[in-house]
Structure 1
Amino acid sequence: MNRAMLLTNHRIRTGVAATMLIAGSLAVPGIAGAQGSLSALGFGYPVNGMSIRASGTAGAFGDIDPLSPINPAALGGIARTVLSAQAEPEYRRLTVGGVTERTASQRIPLLAVIFPAARGVAVGFSARGFLDRSYTTTTRGTADVDGASLSTNEQLTMRGAIGDIRGAVGWQIGNWARVGLGGHIFTGENTGVRERTFADTLRFGSTLDSSRVTYIGTAVSIGGEIRLFKGLAAAASYRAGNRFEARIRDTTRAAGNVPARLGGTLRYDGITGSSFAVGFEQVNWSAMQSMASSRTRAHDALNLFGGAEVAGPRLRGVPLLLRAGYARTDLPFSTTSAPVREIRLSGGLGFPLARDAAAIDFSLQRATRSLAGSAAREAAWLLGVGIQVRP
């Protein structure tokens, strides 16, 4: 019995160490079914951490919205202090052949505060989700102990996320331009717990092991917005990533770079009470490939967005804001040479409160995801609610 327990413990520790050594990027054949999610492959789903207003437009307003910590130039000209918090749970359904599995993720994707300063300058601080990776895998198999084949049940639970903490300053230059600069700290952890139990519980006890990977990286972002002519403006932003490390017990086990990002948006607000935007972003996710396992592929992404916000019916004399949007995005990680493709349709509502001293926003997104060459199909609902207070 002691020998069997030692052998099993050794195998468990070896498996967990190997998994966590590659920065928590577990990837094995059939992982989509095992994880219950196409979007949680590799280091996880790119949360983006936009405001609920931007989520209601499927991300089209991300580069021009001051509460979305993407383009620091969007802070310029903010005249009132703004406090914001939001939640955005996701409910997923994965179908492989005739088998369906449902999972859920509870997220707080963004906390933000903006302080106005003199002469069109504003300062913002935010904490947003960057990558989210949480799942539980249960497998059944056998283990050889002293020449005997024993039935086993093994459960691997991963809980982890990487966040983006940003401090930024934006400056509005007259009525025609804005510029901004931001500094980012990317940090988080993945915790893996592996438990193996034997069918013969009278002779063999269960084994349990765990390991944790922490992440640390930095980046700098710049942005600008310029009014081309009445009703039309263009915005652009760029994030330059620095070294990104995965550590186990304060020892660096893998390193790469924070993915660089380039984005651009055209906005038209020449119709009173309405705003329309189209945009793109390119994210260099392959900068994280050296941190991943050999079975995980990191793919650079080109994402496209389009969305609108229009004034709707009035509530106590103030118009409600109606939002809608469409996005086509590539998710950063997969197990093949092709990325997971995501299509999102979104809608949203904005409710001003207390004479614009506060507001509450709602968004609803429908996402469908597929991987070329795979029978796996994933559909998800993302529900968002955000509150802003302007004291």
Structure 2
Amino acid sequence: MASITFENLTRQYPGNPHPSVVGLDLEIHDGEFLVLVGPSGCGKSTTLRMLAGLEPIDDGRLLMDGRDVTGQKASQRDVAMVFQSYALYPNMTARQNMAFALQNRKVPRGRITELVEEASRILQLDDLMERRPAAMSGGQRQRVAMGRAIVRQPQVFCMDEPLSNLDAQLRVSTRAQIAELQRRLGTTTVFVTHDQTEAMTLGDRVCVLNAGLLQQVGTPQQLYSRPRNTFVAEFIGTPAITLVDGVPVRDGAAHLGGTGHRIALPAGASDAGPVLTVGLRPEAWRTVSLESHPGALQITVALVEDLGADQFAYGLPARPTEGVTVRGGRVCVRLPRGHRVEPGETLAVEPVIDEAYLFHAETGLNLRSV
């Protein structure tokens, strides 16, 4: 196990006008499960590959347990990689695939057998050890790939979107296996995914990247409840947050429209500007009746998403306020259990003021966290 420190790490590919990773500063604790998440092209896989020694570092330093490994080769870093494509040898059985790296390192045969059998028990592979990859399912191949990494007993596991080739149900079960495995072994693990659900369910902490820049790092709950900016707020959470731009500021408060929709600015944010962006997650709306709440916001429903335990209504304000726009063209409201609404109907809602986010209109920063 090892702690990892990225000090101002930068990587720019030849011919690319912009760096893929820019000045990354990040501390990963010994034994931690850290997830790198972000959209395609954000630099998460490049960051992982720099850690594994598969990509050169153009600027900055990489430390493992305080030791500078920036210039070391991959073979010198004691890091095991699990790839998206499994990368198993097709002509070898699962047992042979798992033992191959240890044989190359001249590990005694008895020790190899011991390590392979232990990994097989952990991953429940005993019935598959004599099969070749072609005779395995995707989930079984991925477990063999993890077993190949486990037998090396590395200081760090690097996992590059290992679940992306699996179907939805298998992703959930394999995700649980990976989480249990990491807890059992206690090995420092860095996991890359573009799926924020995976990130939120797996990571001790989650690091959000965008365009090569670190946006925020924290526990899943910190990212959800205290996003640093609008990018993190939009990326983390399913369904996504509703962002309303151009909300006017008067008398120390943002006025979302309607009667009583006044959201007080936090202390120190009095100079935030004439307009703000207000963020409201689906659960931060409550449905009301127009008779008892004549000043409620009215949403024209375009789509109802029924997920069994939850229902979500999507739509746009029936009476839009001049200058105020809904980013992405939709408001998402979680409906109370048993509340039925159909597309084309009007839904009256009130924002839960205490659960509203206020973001600077230009910088996108959360005014309650700056």
**Normalised by the size of structure 1, how large is the TM-score?**
0.20
Structure whose residues are more often strand by fraction: 1
User: Which gives a bigger RCO, structure 1 or 2 (Cα 8 Å, sep 6+)?
Assistant: 1
For the pair shown, the structure with the greater C-alpha radius of gyration is: 2
**Normalised by the size of structure 2, how large is the TM-score?**
0.21
